Amino acid sequence: MEKYYMNRNEQSDTKDFEVHRSTWSPECPHPALPENRLDLWWHSNCGTAVKKAKETYTNVAHRINWCYWCSRECHTT
Please report the DSSP string for 17-53 in residue order.
EEEEETT-SS--SSPPPGGGEEEEEEESSHHHHHHHH
Name which position in 8, 16, 28, 47 contacts Zn ion (CB under 5 A). Answer: 28
32 lines the binding site for Zn ion (CB under 5 A): no
| Contact string 39-58 vs Zn ion (x = CB under 5 A) | --------------------
Structure-derived torsion over alpha carbons of residues 66, 69, 70, 71, reported in degrees to the nearest 10: 40
20 lines the binding site for Zn ion (CB under 5 A): yes
Give me the residues that bind Zn ion (CB under 5 A), please: 20, 28, 67, 69-70
